[in-house]
Structure 1
Amino acid sequence: MSDAVPEGWRRKRIGELVTLQYGKSPKDIISADGRYPIIGTGGVAGYTDSFLHEGNTTVVGRKGTIDKPSYVEGKFWAIDTTYYGSDYKGAEPKWFYYNLSAVDLRKHNEASGVPSLGRDTLYAITMLTPPLPEQQKIATILSSVDDVIDKTHAQIDKLKDLKTGMMQELLTQGIGHTEFKDSPVGRVPASWEITRLGAIVEAGELQTGPFGSQLHSYDYVDRGIPVVMPKDMKAGRIVTTSIAEVSTEKANELNRHRLKAGDLIFARRGDIGRFALVDAKNAGWLNGTGCLRARLSTSADPEYVACYLTLSIVVDWLNTNAVGQTMLNLNTSILSELPVVLPPKDEQSAISRAIKSVDQRITVLSGKLRSTEKLKKALMQDLLAGQVRVNVDQKESEVA
């Protein structure tokens, strides 16, 4: 933030704005059925029927996590590794919370081991302080953005729960069945085929990625053909945040390891059960060292099989059958024997479409969440520094 002080504002020390009180140990007052939250350095740490303070205020870590302030309303208990604010002097508590959240408190750490933040150190930190009505307006605007963020988080969580329940039901009960039989994943419709992964993979297309002797550290370039490693698999898809790349020439040497849309790639060691479905945008990339690739036959819908692979009983089977003591490993022989229950192709597609529709709603809401969080960050930078001044007489527009 700029060092300039906006007109009508003052630069004040935290010690001029609030009194920081020491929290107390909760060991004698914890109650599983308590009415009031116990606030620790990372947020709610339990509940109690006693309270240490009543009022809207900020709790900030004194030891341990010192850079995650919490805003608390009503009655609460603050543990002994925290401070909580009281006796605000010309400061709106919610505005103070947002302002403190914008401070990099790690820079004020006073310990070489467990992070520690002295009260005098906190008191000496300065804040650009507008008149109280302007503070209240700023807090109202930022709170409205937080409301949208909280509601979006709740919607995403609800959809994730819906997806989990839907997958468990559709992947074991199917659509409209009345007769069932036993299978490696429990009771499934009697008409479903019980097979194994190797039987639904094209001939010769269950492969290990290139060996280390085929792909060296000096083969990687800044821009080229992406090489998918286990670290690049997240939630059944390929993420490119830190994906490595090789030159087109090197990729051509490894042509047999090229990926096609619909391929499934698996982590070969370590985090057994991690996998990704290759999308059309990933086609032509390379299956990397540390991965196994399965190219399914036309009898299997890749989206359905990807959903099936997330079942806990499937992940448990992979971990149970993996080999190795220090680090678990999969190979093509083990993966080939993975039990798979396979509905008719049209039912596979119907199941995967239903689950994908929920995924798409989650994706849309996740995009909205990221945009709103960026908006909040920008607003905090502008409003708390006075770069954008608020009109205290004007109602804020709804953020959505």
Structure 2
Amino acid sequence: MISFFGSPLWTPGKLQDLVLLQRGFDITKAEQKPGAIQVFSSSGPNSFHNVSKVEGPGVIIGRKGTLGSVFYSDSSYWPHDTTLWSKDLRGNNAKFVYYALQRIDMTLFDTGAANPTLNRNHVHNLPIFIPERPTQDRIASILSAYDDLIENNRRRIVLLEEAARQLYKEWFVRFRFPGHEHVKIIDGVPEGWSVDAIEEVCQTIGGGTPSTQKREYWDDGEVPWFTPTDVTRNSCLALLNSQTKISDSGLNNSSAKMIPAGSILMTSRASVGFFGINRLAASTNQGFINIVPNDPALRMYLLHNLMWRVEEIRSHAGGATYKEISKGRFRTLPILTPPSGLAGEFEDQATLIHLQVEALHIANQQLAKARDLLLPKLMSGAIAV
């Protein structure tokens, strides 16, 4: 028997014996009301509502748009019309079903023309092997241990980055910085601080894209080359590496430029005002303004100042097809610059926090890699449990 997953030592069956899938429920952003119920679209949980449609635990699959993406909800949720959800788990372990579905390439069953679409009737009859419930429980427990560690680290990252933001707010918005009791504030500016243009305190470097017609600019490339998606899909400020690499030849024959490790990457086109700090020397496409402070002690201050002012930055973006803030306009924006000593104190504390974030982010990538190596072996029965 040809099977999409499972061991021949398990019980032969069809996907619908593991889980019965049902199309989700339509709801627009305008119809969603403030609440704690996650709304799952084909790209995952990206909004909330005050009413659920389904009780957890449950498994959700991308049906339209992002095809075959698999998500898990332990609590009640709202599966969007662009998804399929687990109407009946058939007595199986929900987490096991979640991991099992990741072993099926749902794009093979795309029935859409312009927009990828998955029909549940085309996958319900897929042949699979299903283990007994105790085996399901053990497999789910092993894989969940990795995901639980990843989630714990993710929560720590959120708390750490929030701590840095609150420190910035305390010192540089409320002006309760160390020694503030002895500093006069004149016209809203603490004595000893200066009001500068951004171009006076940092370099602003753009990016570019090598010709896609020349494979030598891309093949076997080792130069990190960030696109805005690398930043918008990243879960924290630490940018460990880019999804795409270019070659030295691609770098030298395009407007892409190398920026040093530890630079501030700010998306400047379409999705304006998303930030990251590159761990390695890298290049970017033209969708960025990359910021290198003249005084290294200003790096974290600059980052948090810009994040605090993100709506102001976006308000300066223009364009008919998509919004973009030009380097020329960005450079003229004013910035309140603290004395180097105070900026250095913030740099030290915020950098220490960022290094912890980076270490946790690296750990999560390693945990995810180990889990993903283990998943097919457990699901094929190659590792007995």
TM-score (norm 2): 0.70
Specify whether residues 289 and 66 from structure 1 end up closer, same or farther in structure 2 by C-alpha distance, changes over 3 A only: closer
2-side partners of 1:50 and 1:267: how far apart? 35
Partner amino acid, structure 2, of 1:364: A
In the alignment, does 2:185 pair up with 1:181?
yes
2-side partners of 1:218 and 1:96: how far apart? 41
Partner amino acid, structure 1, of 2:179: G
Q: CA deviation at 1:348?
A: 1.6
1-side partners of 2:383 and 2:377: how far apart? 5
> What CA RMSD, in Å, does the superposition of the two structures yield over aligned residues?
5.0
In the alignment, does 2:302 pair up with 1:306?
yes
Q: CA deviation at 1:349?
A: 0.9
Q: CA deviation at 1:382?
A: 1.0
Specify whether residues 228 and 319 from structure 1 end up closer, same or farther in structure 2 by C-alpha distance, changes over 3 A only: farther
2-side partners of 1:301 and 1:35: how far apart? 40
Residue pairs, 1:306-385, within 5 angstroms: 306-307=302-303, 310-313=306-309, 316=312, 320=316, 328-331=325-328, 337-385=332-380
Contact 1:51 1:75 in 2 (8 A): yes
Q: CA deviation at 1:150?
A: 1.7
Partner amino acid, structure 2, of 1:175: P
Partner amino acid, structure 2, of 1:152: N
Specify whether residues 301 and 230 from structure 1 end up closer, same or farther in structure 2 by C-alpha distance, changes over 3 A only: farther
Match of 2:160 in 1: 159
Contact 1:57 1:86 in 2 (8 A): no
Match of 1:84 in 2: 86
Contact 1:152 1:369 in 2 (8 A): yes
1:156-191 Cα offsets, whole Å, 9 max, x none, are 1222222222223333423230345367xxx45333
Specify whether residues 356 and 128 from structure 1 end up closer, same or farther in structure 2 by C-alpha distance, changes over 3 A only: same
Question: Alignment length, in residue pairs?
Answer: 365
Specify whether residues 371 and 278 from structure 1 end up closer, same or farther in structure 2 by C-alpha distance, changes over 3 A only: closer
SS at match of 1:145: helix
Contact 2:267 2:273 in 1 (8 A): yes
1:115-168 Cα offsets, whole Å, 9 max, x none, are 433333222112232222211211121222222122122111222222222223
Partner amino acid, structure 1, of 2:343: Q
Contact 1:223 1:246 in 2 (8 A): no
1:230-266 Cα offsets, whole Å, 9 max, x none, are 8699559795554545469x69xx9xx9877888898
SS at match of 1:103: coil
1:264-316 Cα offsets, whole Å, 9 max, x none, are 8988977776788898x64xx89998988887666x73425533552443773
Specify whether residues 180 and 308 from structure 1 end up closer, same or farther in structure 2 by C-alpha distance, changes over 3 A only: farther
Q: CA deviation at 1:48?
A: 5.7
Name the stretch that deviates more: 77-86 or 129-138.
77-86
Q: CA deviation at 1:377?
A: 1.0
Match of 1:95 in 2: 96
Q: CA deviation at 1:36?
A: 6.7
SS at match of 2:87: strand
2-side partners of 1:389 and 1:373: how far apart? 21
Name the stretch that deviates more: 35-44 or 130-139.
35-44
Q: CA deviation at 1:388?
A: 0.6
Partner amino acid, structure 1, of 2:72: Y
Specify whether residues 288 and 97 from structure 1 end up closer, same or farther in structure 2 by C-alpha distance, changes over 3 A only: closer
2-side partners of 1:107 and 1:165: how far apart? 47
Partner amino acid, structure 1, of 2:378: L
Q: CA deviation at 1:102?
A: 2.2
SS at match of 1:123: coil
Partner amino acid, structure 2, of 1:71: Y
Name the stretch that deviates more: 189-198 or 363-372.
189-198
2-side partners of 1:232 and 1:73: how far apart? 28
Match of 2:140 in 1: 139
Residue pairs, 1:270-281, within 5 angstroms: none
Q: CA deviation at 1:370?
A: 0.8
Contact 1:229 1:287 in 2 (8 A): yes
In the alignment, does 2:164 pair up with 1:169?
no
Identity of aligned residues (%): 20
Specify whether residues 303 and 62 from structure 1 end up closer, same or farther in structure 2 by C-alpha distance, changes over 3 A only: closer
Residue pairs, 1:217-236, within 5 angstroms: none
Match of 1:190 in 2: 191
Q: CA deviation at 1:352?
A: 0.8
Partner amino acid, structure 1, of 2:306: T
2-side partners of 1:34 and 1:323: how far apart? 33
Q: CA deviation at 1:20?
A: 4.0
1:339-388 Cα offsets, whole Å, 9 max, x none, are 23233322221111111111111101101111111122112111011111
Partner amino acid, structure 2, of 1:307: L
